[in-house]
Amino acid sequence: MRHILSALVQNVPGVLAHIAGMLASRGYNIDSLAVGETEHPNLSRMTFVVVGDARVLEQVRKQLEKIVTVVSVQDISSYDYVERDLLLMKVKAPVGSVRSEIRELVDIFRGRIVDVGPEEMMVEISGRENKVEAFIDRMRAYGITELARTGRIAMVRSVCGHSFCDYQPVDSSPSA
């Protein structure tokens, strides 16, 4: 079973390496990992996709919660949530009808062309994993020259009644 875990962590050097190393050393595979600063500069949100049964999920949660820099861990896949991937792709697109076909596919997938060169176009697509995968499959026929993807990011929809609504960050700035 696929689980999406969201961890709020202190935004300090080495936290990503520490967490990834701990999970790897215990044999847990991370399918996807994305990390970035939150609305609070002293906190980052790490979003993990982990595959396993309830026992594996519980062990991963317990291991994460033992780490001092981890503020909270939540299995958000048990809530109503929104998830997204981001894809940047360069695809062969010589001048002519091929460019028009690619533009049409980009529009159908609600993407954007973000750069155009003499022989290539760079496209940006965001959405659920299956949408991104479907777009990649359609572009293979044109010749993908380079591809970069983020890991999955996800947030629980705006319905309170879970720990995310109650979270108040601790101010870690030194007092005067």
Whole-angstrom Cα Rg for the chain:
20
Domains 2-78 and 82-153 share a fold: yes
Per-domain residue ranges for the chain? Answer: 2-78, 82-153
Does the domain made of 2-78 have the CATH classification 3.30.70.260?
Answer: yes
Cβ atoms of 142 and 92 within 8 Å: the answer is yes
Cβ atoms of 151 and 33 within 8 Å: the answer is yes
Alpha carbons 101 and 99: distance in angstroms, whole number: 5
CATH architecture type of domain 82-153: 2-Layer Sandwich (3.30)
Nearest to 17 by CA among 67, 71, 58, 52: 67
List residues bridging with 120 in a β-sheet: 92
- Residues listed for the chain: 176
Give the pLDDT of the chain (176 residues) as one tens digit per residue.
889 999 999 999 999 999 888 888 888 888 889 999 999 999 999 998 988 888 888 888 888 998 999 999 999 988 999 999 999 999 999 988 899 999 999 999 999 999 999 999 999 999 999 999 999 999 999 999 999 999 899 999 996 555 555 544 444 444 43
pTM: 0.77
